[in-house]
Each structure stands twice: as structure tokens, then as C-alpha cells.
A and B are shown apart, each in its own frame.
Chain A
Amino acid sequence: MSFDLNFIGILIGAIMASSVPLILAASGELITERSGVLNLGVEGMMIIGAISGFALMVVTDNLFLAVIGSMISGLIISIIFGVLTQSLLTNHVATGLALTIFGIGMSAMIGKNFVGIPGKEFPLLFINLKENIPFLGPILFGHSVILYFAFLLPFLTNYFLKKTKIGLIIRAVGDSPTSASNQGINVTLVRYSCILYGGAMCGLAGAYLSLIYTPQWIENMTGGRGWIALALVVFATWSPIKVLIGALIFGGITILQLHMQAVGLRIPVQLLSALPYIMTVIVLVVISRDSRKIKLNTPTSLGQIFYKEK
């Protein structure tokens, strides 16, 4: 019995690990979107984060530098998006799509020399506790510091948006940039900051993939997780806590259906592979039914170009 329980604990630990990149990227994008900016470049920023983190690790042999570097490179890529959409007033959707295509191509080019190089072991915390406590051990302990950060992040984001002045200003800008500007708020500065923050979080999400989750560089290794993160933000109706729930469901069913495939259930593989997507959408739609709340959380100016009267 204790063996079974421990196995379930390990499974839950694996599910948590697989949802980390989604939580990080979606939390970053959530802040960006709350300021009224729709950045569809999440996938591109993630994969740039993944390759630059891995490359820095190989070159410097320093994991700390690699993680920080991945965040900075995600941030730099998002500056391109910021300049285009906020200063040159280009269309958010088209620019975001271009950013993703650019990121995927760029990462493949940089990554050419890094294919096949083995990764470095990332330090995991509380390994002893993980092995000595049945069930709860594998759930709570033996993870990387980034995982603990990722699981705190939605709560921090929630507090930041609801309780702090800067959070209030971000929500106000997302609601009506014109009103905010007339109140003396520097809309462009707020939106730039949110874009850069989103970029850094996407970069970190990428680094988690290439340094911890599957420590190596594979071309296109984000595999659409950026798009899932984007969808999570919308289906979670811009609520950080629901993003966490959605990411866990998605990660959970992804892992479970792999086990089901391995066991050899007589359900078509295609259906099992589609299950995470279907279930995540259903659950998030069900928990976000309150149309009044949706209206209050949705950034009204999402995707709209703002320019100031002179």
C-alpha cells in the first residue's frame, strides 16, 4: 500500500514539474495582457530563452548565469515587440506572430552547434526529505528552486494586481488607456514594463525546459507550450489562480495519458493525446462561468493600439 501511495506522490511531483513552464509563461503573459497588450510571441520568447539558457550553460558552465541570461534574452526579444507595437504603433497580433516565427528560426540557427551536447545536472532541493517521507516527500521536496518560484508566482501576481498601487495602474491602463493618459499616467511606460516582464518570464520558462525538465537542446523543443500558455490566460479569464489550476490540469492529463498509453488501454492514441487540451478547456470554462467576473477581469483595451493626442 505504501508503495502505491509513494508512486502516486511521484506522479504528482512529475505533473507539477511539467506544468512549471506553462505557469511561468502564462503568469508573465497575464501581466502583459492586463495592461492591454496582446503579445502572441510567447512561443518565440520561450524558445529563445531555452536556447540562450542552454548555450550560456555550455559556454560558462555556470547555471546561475544561464538562468539569468535566459531571462535577459527573453526580455531583449520582447523589446523588439515593445518598440514595434508601442512606439511604432504596429498591430499587436501580426507583430506577435512575427516574433514567434523569428524566435523559432533564430533559436534553430543558434542551436545548431549545441545539438547533442549533454546538459548539466541542476541542483534539486531537499533530496533527503523527498526519499524519506512517503507520498508527501516526492510532492513537496526534491524540486528545483524555479519550481518553487513558479508555484508561488500566481499568488504573488494575484496580490500584486489586486493590492498594490502599480497593479491598480496596470489594470487601469488595460481598461482604458485614454482615461489613464488623461489622468497623467504614462501609458507607454506602463505597457513597455509589462511587455518586458512578460518577456523575462517567458525566457525563464524556456530555460526551465532546456536546463531542468529535459536538460539538452532540441530544435523546436518548446513544442507549442507557448501557445498553450496563451490559451490558458484567456480561458482562465485573466485570473492568476485559475492559470495555476489550468496549468496543473493540462500537465496532469498530459502525464496521465502517457501512462494510459503505456498500459495499453484500448482507446485511440490520438484521442488520448488530445485529452489534455479538451479537458483543460472544459474545466476552465466551467470554473469561469460567471459572466460578470469575466467582464471585470477582461482587459477592455486588449490588443488596441494606443496613441496620445498632442
Chain B
Amino acid sequence: MNTKLRVSEISKIYPGCVANDEISLEFGSGKIYALLGENGAGKSTLVKILSGVVRPDKGEVFLNDKSIKLNSPLDAKKNNIGMVFQHFNLFETLSVFENLSIDSDKKDEDLRLSVNNILKKYNFKIDLDIPVLNLSAGQKQKVEIIRCLIRNPKVLIMDEPTSVLTEQETEDLFVSLKQFSDEGILIIYITHKLKEVLSLCDEVAVMRKGKVVSVSKTKEEKIETLANKMVGENLNSIKKKINNFKYSEEILKISNLNFRSDDPYETNLINLNFSLKKGECLGIAGISGNGQSELFQILSGEIITDYTSIKFRDKEISKLNPRERREYLMAFSPEDRISQAAVPELKIYENVALNNFKSSNFFEKGLVNEKKIKEHSKKILSNFSVNTDNVEMKSQFLSGGNLQKLIIGRELITSPELLVCFNPTWGLDVGAINYIHETLININEQGKSSILISTDNDELLKLSDRICVIYKGKLSKIMYVNEVTPEKLGILMGGGSID
């Protein structure tokens, strides 16, 4: 039972953007295909066309050499094409079983039987009678997969499936996908994560700006070659000059930082002490949920704690709120771009004004000086190569990378002495990550300091001068980056100790 899927000269044009430009690709069963590209490269449009959600302006799809019409999601289902969207298409308030039965023609008893068979076969553990909103992201994805499997799919399309999964869930998913592939299901795997392509897929097609720029076997590729194809230019590998800062002046000193919370979902911080020199980057590693977000909020002034001393440029600032700390030339880039750093419904220039309430230029006699704010915003957009010059655009329409550039730009344009950032490249594509990394190295070279709280060890090793690990609210000893290896970090992150 061999399946062959071919798309031929598919084009889709949206106002102001060519999402798919004459795409032609061929897939055969028994293999896992990666569709790789940055955000906005046109991958999602192509899979929406394959699943019947969006109609192409031009082009044809062939299944086993027969031209098929995909005018609606029903057509895709009829042709045994299954699709797991990045944003789940589940009904949160309905039970798992109701979610599965809604598009099934089977009787309830028969459906339950076949669902139970699938659960057993692939070792999925899901209670069918609880509402979907009680499931974890990984379980929700399994429900989506089961929904496809019920229909005996020939083709299974996964759109950025790991963006919401934990590492363990990702591993489980890969095991299942390989199993499906061995059973003859053709799998198309959409991602911008290079490591996943290499570890999971057999062949890879790279898309850029709506076009397919390369098709190759993954065996012949390396992370660097794929990254270059994806971004379309040679990414200069960034290297930081090593400096031990022995004779530099101390800019920040934290002593006796303790934090106790009644909220069971927060982590207590226990006696943290560290200091930072001028021009230095301190990296804080750790598995998420070990006190990073509490530490960030204490540094930014969102949480004020008793008895903690935070000395910044010889002033005690531990009781100041975030706005007052900004006036002392501290800057902050929180973890969650959408809910903490920016207001998605507001326009770009309004978001720029938000953390500059005190700037005398922006507000006069209680009125907003839009012209000044817009000029200032334009400067940020061009200085930090955000991919638009339209300051009237709502921030929610910026891609993750562009939004992060805007947020970091908004902070850095006031030339702060210290930038605290928390997972600044989480979920971004290679080009944006590279840009943010360059920016962070630049500020150190200009003699400004930074604290980088991150769950990405590669990033920490690349950018930090010194590194420590946070585990269950305690900090490990602080090491110079040339003494640290990924293995040592791994041991410390798991709660072990090293000598």
C-alpha cells in the first residue's frame, strides 16, 4: 500500500504577500518529510491548502497520480489526509470522546472500541470521558492524532507539533511518529527547529519567502547547512571575547535574597547572593520552574521582598518598583512577550510609550504627544531591524522574532547600564535568534552589563561570561564560562553536585 502525494505549482497570494509561489514537491510513504522554514516562509499556508482549509489560487494536488480537489476540510478527510494543527482544533468544553465522535460516522460503541484499540496499540493514556480542558498540551495533541488515526490516514501532516510539548512529550511523539511511518503512513512534519529535522526526518524541503529553495536527504545535511538555506545568507557564527573582569568595577550586588510564597505553584528562593561587574554577562541556567520567574520578578521590582539588599551602582534599590528601577538605568525583557512585555491589542507606538511613562517628551500636561512617540518608535524599528516601519500596526501582528526585537529595542534605546532578560529567544527562528544574540553581545562590548536567565544551554554558553545554575530556588556556585561544559550544567540542573 504505497502512497504518493505530489503538489504541483501551487500558488497562493494574500494582499501584500505571496505566501506560496509555484510550489512543487513530491512525497512517498514510509518516510518522514520535513518542511523547514522560518516563520512566515509559507509552510503553514501550504499545509492549510493540503488540509482543505485554504484554497490555492493556482496549482494542483495529486494523490497516487490522481488529481484531487481539496475545497473543504471534508475533502481532505475523504482523501485520507489527516492534519494536526499547531493550534489545536479541539472543543475544550466537550469530553474527549465527544470531540472524537463529532466527525465520525460510526456508532458510539464501535467508535469507543476502535479508540480503545488505538490507545492500547500506541500506549496512549487518556481518559475519554473528561473534558478536554483538563488535559495537558501533550495529551491534547494525542487526541488530535487519534482523531486522524480513526480514519486510517494515508497522509498525516503535523504543523509545528513540538512548540507546546515538554522534552519528554516530544520524545514520546517521535516514537509514535516513527511507528506510524513504519506502518506506511506518509508523514509531513512542519517545523523551524533544525535539531528535530535531523533526529526525526528522512528528507527535508526548505522553504523561504514562499518558495522551495532546496530538497535533500537529511543524512547529507548538518545544522549549519540547513540554517543557512533557511535564512538565505551565511549566518556568521558569533563568538564572544573572553574577559575575566578582574579589575572592572562592580555594578550590581545582591545579598540575602529570600522569597517565600504561599502559592503552591511558585518556588521559594533561598539565600541567593551574587554580584555583577561592568560589561559582564551573568548566565543563570536551570530547568524551568526552579525559581527563574520569581528571581526575574524580584530583579525587575514586580515582587518586593523584605530583608533583601539589591545594590545597583551603589544605590539601594530593593524597595523600588519597575518604573523607578528603569529611571536608575535598569532594563527588563520578561519571558512572556505577549502577556508580560507587550499588550498585543495596542499599536506598536503605544506599546513603546507604555514603559516610558515618565519621559517628559511623550506626555505633556496629561496629553499624549503622539508625534514624539511615533518618531521614537520609528527609530527603534529601524535601529533594531524590525521587519516593518508601520508604527500604527497592532503588536499582535508582529511575528515572535520581530516582537522580541521591538521589546529589546524599546529597552536598549534608553542606554541602560543593566539588561535583565528571561528566555529572550524562546520560540524564535534562527535568523531572529542570531540577531538577538548579536545584540546581547554588543551591549556587553559597550561596557553595559546583562543578566541572562535562560533554559537554553547553548545560548548560555555562547553569551555568558560567568554561569550558575538555579535548582529548587538555590543557586549553584558561579563559574567562569571556560570552566563549564554542557555535561556539568546538566548535572547541576538535575540537582547533582560537581567539584
Chain A residues within an 8 Å CB radius of B103:
183-185
The answer to whether A181 has its CB under 8 Å from any CB of chain B is yes
Interchain CB contact under 8 A, A181 and B73: yes
Assign chain B's interface to a size class.
20 to 34
Smallest CB–CB gap between A184 and chain B, Å?
Answer: 4
- Given B54, B72, B88, B94, which contacts A175 in the complex, CB threshold below 8 Å? B94
- Identify whether the interface residues of B are mostly helix, strand, loop, or mixed: loop
With A and B bound together, what is the CA distance between A185 and B54 in angstroms? 15
CB pair A176 B92 closer than 8 Å: yes
Known: A168-B101, A168-B102, A176-B91. A184 touches B55 (CB 8 A): no
Question: Contact flags (1/0) for B88-110 with A, using CB distance below 8 Å?
Answer: 11111110001001110000000
State whether the Cβ of A295 lies closer than 8 Å to any Cβ in chain B. yes
Asked if B329 is an interface residue, CB under 8 A from chain A, the answer is: no
- A179, A297, A298 — which one has the most chain B CB atoms within 10 A of its CB? A179
Indicate the member of B48, B51, B94, B131 with the most A CB atoms within 10 Å. B94
Write out the residue numbers on chain A whose beta carbons fall within 8 Å of the beta carbon of B131.
296
Shortest distance from the beta carbon of B373 to any chain A beta carbon, whole Å:
30
Judging by beta carbons under 8 Å apart, are B89 and A184 in contact? no
Count chain A CB atoms within 10 A of each CB in B85, B92, B131 and give the residue with the most: B92
- Confirm or deny: B491 has a beta carbon within 8 angstroms of a beta carbon on chain A: no
Q: Are A168 and B94 closer than 8 Å at their CB atoms?
A: yes
Shortest C-beta distance, B374 to chain A (Å), equals 30
Q: Contacts of A289 on B, CB cut-off 8 Å?
A: none
The verdict on A4 contacting chain B, using a C-beta distance below 8 Å, is: no
Give complex CA distance A181, B74 in Å: 10
- Residue B354 CB within 8 A of the other chain: no
Chain B residue numbers with a CB within 8 Å of A172 are 91, 94, 98, 102
Cα distance A300–B90 when bound, in Å? 12
Pick the contact of B92 from A175, A182, A185, A297 — CB < 8 Å? A175
The answer to whether B94 and A179 touch across the interface, beta carbons within 8 angstroms, is: no
In the bound complex, what is the Cα–Cα distance between A184 and B82 (angstroms)? 13
- Known contacts A296-B131, A309-B53, A310-B54; is A182 also within 8 Å of B91 by CB? no
Bound complex: CA A169 to CA B94 (Å): 10
A268-310 interface code vs B (CB 8 A; 1 in, 0 out): 0000000000000000000000000001111010000000011
Known: A168-B98, A184-B72, A184-B73. A179 touches B91 (CB 8 A): yes
Q: Once bound together, how far apart are the Cα atoms of A180 and B103, in whole Å?
A: 9
Contact with A along B103-133 (1 / 0, CB 8 A): 1000000000000000000000000000101
Q: Among A183, A295, A296, point to the contact of B73 (Cβ < 8 A).
A: A183
Set of chain B residues within 8 Å of A182, measured between Cβ atoms: 51, 53, 73, 85, 89
Interfacial residues of chain A within 160-186, with CB under 8 A of chain B in the complex: 165, 168-169, 171-172, 175-176, 178-185
Could you tell me if A171 and B91 are in contact, using CB atoms closer than 8 angstroms? yes
Please indicate the chain B residues that have their CB under 8 angstroms from the CB of A175 in the complex. Answer: 91-94
Q: What is the bound-complex CA distance between A169 and B101, given in angstroms?
A: 10
Tell whether B77 is near chain A: CB-to-CB under 8 Å.
yes
Query: Within the complex, what minimum Cβ distance (angstroms) separates B385 from chain A?
Result: 30
CB distance from A183 to the nearest CB of B (A): 5
Q: List A181-213 residues whose CB lies under 8 Å from chain B.
A: 181-185
Q: Is the CB of B102 within 8 A of A183?
A: yes
The answer to whether A171 and B94 touch across the interface, beta carbons within 8 angstroms, is yes
Q: Which residues of A contact B55 (CB under 8 A)?
A: 310
**Chain B residues in 8 Å Cβ range of A183:** 73, 89, 102-103
Task: Given A183-B103, A184-B73, A184-B103, verify A309-B93 contact (CB < 8 Å).
Answer: no
> Contact: A300 with B93, CB < 8 Å?
yes
> Which one of A178, A295, A296, A298 contacts B89 once the chains associate, using CB atoms below 8 Å?
A178
Residue of B54, B77, B94, B102 ringed by the most chain A CB atoms within 10 A? B102
Q: How far is the CA of A295 from the CA of B103 in the complex (A)?
A: 23
Complex interface: chain B residues within 8 A of A176 (CB): 89-92
Name A300's contact: one of B54, B85, B92, B98 (CB within 8 Å): B92
Which residues of the other chain, B, contact A168 by a CB distance below 8 angstroms?
94, 98, 101-102
Cβ–Cβ < 8 Å partners of B90 in chain A: 176, 179
B69 → A minimal CB distance (Å): 14
Q: Are B133 and A309 in contact (CB under 8 A)?
A: no
Q: Which of B286-334 contact A (CB under 8 A)?
A: none
Q: For residue A184, which residues in chain B have a CB less than 8 angstroms away from its CB?
A: 72-74, 77, 103
How distant is the Cα of A72 from the Cα of B214 in the complex, in angstroms?
62
Contact indicator per residue, chain B 186-203, by CB within 8 Å of chain A (1) or not (0): 000000000000000000
Q: CA separation between A171 and B91, bound complex, in Å?
A: 9
Residues of A within 8 A of B92 (CB): 175-176, 300
Q: Are B77 and A179 in contact (CB under 8 A)?
A: no
Which residue of chain B is the closest to A175 with respect to CB atoms?
B91
Of the candidates A181, A185, A296, A310, the one whose C-beta lies within 8 Å of that of B93 is A296
Task: Sample 22 A-B pairs with CB under 8 A, ordered by A number.
Answer: A168-B94, A169-B102, A171-B93, A172-B91, A175-B91, A175-B92, A175-B93, A176-B91, A179-B88, A179-B90, A181-B73, A182-B53, A182-B89, A183-B73, A183-B89, A184-B103, A185-B103, A295-B133, A296-B131, A298-B93, A309-B48, A309-B53
Of all A-B residue pairs in the complex, the 3 with the closest CB atoms, nearest first, are: A184-B74, A179-B89, A175-B91
Beyond contacts A182-B85, A183-B103: 18 other A-B pairs, Cβ-Cβ < 8 A, are A168-B98, A169-B102, A171-B94, A172-B94, A172-B98, A176-B89, A176-B91, A179-B89, A182-B51, A182-B53, A182-B89, A183-B73, A184-B72, A184-B77, A185-B102, A185-B103, A300-B93, A309-B53
